[in-house]
Structure 1
Amino acid sequence: MTTETVRPLHDFPPSYWGDRFVTYTCDSKKIEDYTKQVEVLKKEVRKMLIDDSITLSQKMNLINEVLRLGVGYYFETEIKEGLQQLYSEVNDFDDLYTASLHFRLLRQHGYNASCDVFKKFKDDNGSFTSSLVTDIPGMLSLYEATHLRTYGEDILEEALAFTTDHLKSIVATQSSHPLKKQVEYALKQPYHKGTPRLEAKNYISFSEEHEERNETLLKLAKLDFIVMRSIYLKELSDVTVWWRNLSSELPYVRDRVTEIYFWLLGMNFEPRYSVARIISMKVGCFISILDDTYDAYGTVEELQLLTDAIERLIACSTFFPHLLEHLKTTYYIFLNSFGFQEIEDECTKEGRSYRIPYAKGAMKDLVKAYLTEAKWCNQSYVPTIEEYLRVASVTGATTILTNASILGMGDNFTKEAFDWVSSEPLMINAANRLFRVTDDIRGHKYDQQRMHVASAVECYVEEYGVSEAEAYQELTKMTETAWKDLNQELILSPAGPPMHVLERVLNCIRIVEVIYKNIHGYTHAEIEFKDHIHLLLIDPINI
């Protein structure tokens, strides 16, 4: 190594959080009391859900409230039975709100509900009837339903444009309307594309303002949110200490342990998945280390050695005697933590050691793709958009993140689930494309200020000779297509994996939608990302 070695170094913004979450303590007596109250309230809500005296429409609204308030994981059996009833019985809802809610609930849970139900809301000229614009709850419900659209569903495309225009008008002209805040929020963040815990927190706030709110259900949601927050904060405290010890020898990596925890929490937020969160969190941290090692530190020669070592899982330093200490540290972190003894021991205890090879395979694919991008950067090579996406789909990391998120889960995540993830099905490919293209649209200007591989934007501009603005438009269309692929796999694959597997992929890409909405949120976490973390882990909830 000489002083002339050129590195793609970058001075990333420091952690916004510092040591805030390192020493967390909670009022254990209060949490114990809230936990007891949650158990009592769960029984009351369960009685509501199985009450045969309520109408189908009332049950559907109750299921929706339970889900949106973030306590659906307590009533999975009751919700599943209720949705099956909604799907099995012939329903011809005449009001827009109920018809739209019925459609959305079914599609979000894997039922192929037909969009033909919305034809009745059109006039003789084929346009949505003008009288609908005064039905604000109905318009909002239809708007949310349109985000479950797939290919060839022109009526939902029309409905999206129709509702978006009129809901924007409502926000601008009806400042005192009780649904104004909810409409305004939905226009920025549709429910289907939002991360579940943030959606629950926001919906708690909206519900507090509803005159016809279900007080029992709302109290359950608030207490449960506080109890779960205490669990999350304890986990975050533990992994932050772990990260501090791990990253101290790697000064070039981004300190984003809080943001990584938020990300993996978004994929596995349910109470029973604490072990899975910790395992996937550690995997996520190592992916972040690798990303910065390949993107913002190592030379091509060094990265080739590191890639070879990871591919062969060699535990001998003589394999790369001339490698810099930082890169040796990265490799031994891989061997000793993610790779995989610590995680393998945890899985072996539960009789699930068969899961480890899937994660190892995904990691090997990831570093090979990182190396390819590093070589492109070194050669100033601008690939075609198709060539770029073949590699970038791997560096999108949805495959490894999904594998990581289910490593520590229970027996309902079977070998078949891991086979499905590793086979790179349409849903995984769509999520990877969406992740990478969204990332590039938001972050390419910042990245190109230093040595960096050409992004999807540069590739598109170079190949087609268009402006950046035109490239943005076409790449945005790619993300819309990817969402249609995701939705299609969600509702049109009855022979595929169960919903609880598909939801991990959806939750991963929902987080991308949230934190990359306006800016490269992971790198510039101090701008918008911090607000999401405040909302989830810091901002108070009034009981």
Structure 2
Amino acid sequence: MDAVSMKSSDQRTRRSANFTPSLWKEYLLRLERQVSTYDFKKEEFCEQEREHERLKEVVRMMLTEPGVGSGPQTLDLIDIIERLGLFYHFECEIQALMLTSKLEHGDEYDDHDLHKVALRFRLLRQLGHYVSCDVFNKFKDQEGNFKESLVTDVRGLLGLFEAAHYRVHEEDILGEALNFTTSQLVSMLPNLDHFWTPRVKQALEVPIQKTLNRIGARRFISLYEEDTSHNAVLLKFAKLDFNILQRLHQKELLNEAKWWNSLNAAENFPFARDRLVECSFWTLGVYFEPKYSEARQSLAKVIAMVSIVDDIYDSYGFLDELLLFMDSIERWHISALDQLPSYMGQCYRALLNVYNEIEERLAKEGKSDLINYAISSKKNLARSYLEEAKWIYRKEVPNFEEYMKVALVSATYEHLSTASLVCMGEFVAEDALKWIVKVPSIVRASSVICRLMDDMADYEVAI
């Protein structure tokens, strides 16, 4: 009896995490029926595309016409464009305007309007330009507290609240600003009018700095529409752009669902989470723009496979099987399939196919070597899963330092950060990958936050 059939008849009791079924089956069926009715060659869709291009050029003229400078009105326009989710169309124009503002005014923005100062500060930091937080000292009194006169300035407080979320280490004034504005906005909320109430509520719930682009754009479109002073061209363009992008994202999700169904996941991996829609949504937080369509679809498959492999190591596989699985992943060749039990073999084949598909796409762009970064990172992730499985089977309790060394890798941020860049293909320089695999501070910090939040959630469920 060969190794595969021996494992298939294994009568040992397997662990099970009893994951809840997917919530999205009916939604996907409805979406498939909806998208199947789309005919992008129809005059209706062609007209939408033409109108989209026309409006885009109108908005571009707003940013480039003679007389547009770096003053408050321009900053407000840029802010609205960004919050409507349209920034990706005008990156060069907006960067040029903000750089002009930086060159003309430096860090000393000679204005005592809190909204204007905070908005400029936030926009510059959003775009990667450093500007000193000392610009907010002018809003403090002689005792070092924020001035009493600010407590009635809801627009200024909201602007400072959003700006404070872009603070870095040792910027105490922004920490003070966050505490001050939060308490003031919360206390003001019951007495605000219908214009400011939803804006303040939304900001307190999820600040701009923590908002996914597509969610933020959808919410702001509704708020902007209720503003009687809104720009009709901007609003129309934002709605059209959102709908066109959403159709693209829906088509991508259906492509990913077709791939998932081709794995026969429900039967081959009944122990694993079916979270394909969540995986697809995750990719929109990485890059939502049309040019990254193929990257998103590849990344969604990578994340889905990470989830299956995680469940094999974390809740289903026996230790002897997991050792074989790790050996196969280290070898990274289809010939290693022969030593695996059936369910692992199905997963291993799908895993190799996903990465082979990415490599084939990269090869067309002359960047096939980039796949090695993703494969190496995947192997490292699997090693961390195996180490955690050994602790469980051997009933070992590592100390905190030993745990974090492994758990920061198993948090998946190191692998998914690398895979996200690899999937970008022609849009990423290899230097970026050489940087990311060294686990820079931003990746390590993200891993720490992810790991500890995940562990706290698991602990709460366990008790």
* Fold match (TM-score > 0.5): yes
Give distance in 1, aligned partners of 2:173 and 2:251.
47
Structure 1 residue aligned with 2:84: 69
Secondary structure of 2:144's aligned partner: coil
Q: C-alpha displacement at 1:33, in angstroms? A: 2.3
Structure 2 residue aligned with 1:285: 304
Structure 1 residue aligned with 2:371: 356
Q: C-alpha displacement at 1:20, in angstroms? A: 2.6
Give distance in 1, aligned partners of 2:11 and 2:346.
23
Quick one: which amino acid aligns to residue 186 of structure 1?
A: A
Secondary structure of 1:409's aligned partner: helix
Distance 1:180 1:318, change over 3 A: closer
Quick one: which amino acid aligns to residue 240 of structure 1?
A: A
Structure 1 residue aligned with 2:283: 264
Secondary structure of 1:89's aligned partner: helix
Structure 1 residue aligned with 2:125: 107
Quick one: which amino acid aligns to residue 36 of structure 2?
A: T
Question: Percent identity at matched positions?
Answer: 39
1:69-90: CA deviation from partner (whole Å, max 9, x where unpaired):
1011111110110121121111
Aligned match for 1:25, one of 15, 30, 36: 36
Structure 1 residue aligned with 2:19: 12
Q: C-alpha displacement at 1:442, in angstroms? A: 2.6
Structure 1 residue aligned with 2:54: 40
Q: C-alpha displacement at 1:299, in angstroms? A: 1.8
Q: Does 1:426 align with 2:441?
A: yes
Q: Does 1:179 align with 2:179?
A: no
1:41-67: CA deviation from partner (whole Å, max 9, x where unpaired):
101100011133245221111111111
Structure 2 residue aligned with 1:252: 271
1:399-439: CA deviation from partner (whole Å, max 9, x where unpaired):
22222223342534111011111111111111111221222
Structure 1: tracts of 5 or more residues without a match: 450-543
> Are the equivalent residues in 1 in contact too, given 2:328–2:337 (CA < 8 A)?
no
Q: C-alpha displacement at 1:209, in angstroms? A: 1.4
1:224-251: CA deviation from partner (whole Å, max 9, x where unpaired):
0000111111111111011012114111
Task: Please show how residues 139-538 of structure 1 align to structure 2 within 5 Å.
Answer: 139-174=157-192, 176-246=193-263, 247-248=265-266, 249-317=268-336, 320=339, 323-335=340-352, 337-338=353-354, 340-446=355-461, 448=462
Q: C-alpha displacement at 1:256, in angstroms? A: 0.9
Q: C-alpha displacement at 1:172, in angstroms? A: 2.8
Distance 1:262 1:370, change over 3 A: same
Secondary structure of 1:217's aligned partner: helix
Which has the higher relative contact order, 1 or 2, with Cα contacts under 8 A spaced 6 or more apart?
1
Quick one: which amino acid aligns to residue 109 of structure 1?
A: L
Q: C-alpha displacement at 1:317, in angstroms? A: 5.0
Quick one: which amino acid aligns to residue 444 of structure 2?
A: N
Q: C-alpha displacement at 1:98, in angstroms? A: 0.8
Q: C-alpha displacement at 1:5, in angstroms? A: 2.7
Give distance in 2, aligned partners of 1:435 and 1:158.
26
Structure 2 residue aligned with 1:484: none
Structure 2 residue aligned with 1:529: none
> Are the equivalent residues in 2 in contact too, given 1:100–1:142 (CA < 8 A)?
yes
Give distance in 2, aligned partners of 1:237 and 1:391.
35
TM-score (ref. length: structure 1):
0.78
TM-score (ref. length: structure 2):
0.91
1:131-157: CA deviation from partner (whole Å, max 9, x where unpaired):
111111111111011111111111111
Structure 2: tracts of 5 or more residues without a match: 1-6
Give distance in 2, aligned partners of 1:126 and 1:199.
34
Q: C-alpha displacement at 1:3, in angstroms? A: 6.8
Secondary structure of 1:20's aligned partner: helix
> Are the equivalent residues in 2 in contact too, given 1:279–1:407 (CA < 8 A)?
no
Q: Does 1:84 align with 2:99?
A: yes
Give distance in 2, aligned partners of 1:286 and 1:219.
39
Give distance in 2, aligned partners of 1:135 and 1:269.
35
> Are the equivalent residues in 1 in contact too, given 2:337–2:345 (CA < 8 A)?
no
Quick one: which amino acid aligns to residue 351 of structure 2?
A: F
Distance 1:384 1:130, change over 3 A: farther
Quick one: which amino acid aligns to residue 267 of structure 1?
A: V
Quick one: which amino acid aligns to residue 38 of structure 1?
A: H
Aligned match for 1:122, one of 135, 140, 165: 140
Aligned residue-pair number: 443
> Are the equivalent residues in 2 in contact too, given 1:264–1:280 (CA < 8 A)?
yes
Q: C-alpha displacement at 1:380, in angstroms? A: 3.3
Give distance in 2, aligned partners of 1:228 and 1:44.
19
Quick one: which amino acid aligns to residue 167 of structure 1?
A: L
> Are the equivalent residues in 2 in contact too, given 1:35–1:224 (CA < 8 A)?
no
Give distance in 2, aligned partners of 1:155 and 1:104.
15
Q: C-alpha displacement at 1:388, in angstroms? A: 2.1
Higher Cα radius of gyration: 2
Quick one: which amino acid aligns to residue 235 of structure 1?
A: E
Give distance in 1, aligned partners of 2:296 and 2:10.
42
Q: C-alpha displacement at 1:270, in angstroms? A: 0.4
Q: C-alpha displacement at 1:111, in angstroms? A: 1.2
Q: C-alpha displacement at 1:296, in angstroms? A: 1.8
Quick one: which amino acid aligns to residue 316 of structure 1?
A: S
> Are the equivalent residues in 1 in contact too, given 2:422–2:433 (CA < 8 A)?
no
Give distance in 2, aligned partners of 1:367 and 1:3.
23
Structure 2 residue aligned with 1:488: none
Give distance in 2, aligned partners of 1:95 and 1:318.
66
> Are the equivalent residues in 2 in contact too, given 1:170–1:180 (CA < 8 A)?
no
Root mean square deviation of aligned Cα: 1.8
Structure 1 residue aligned with 2:4: none
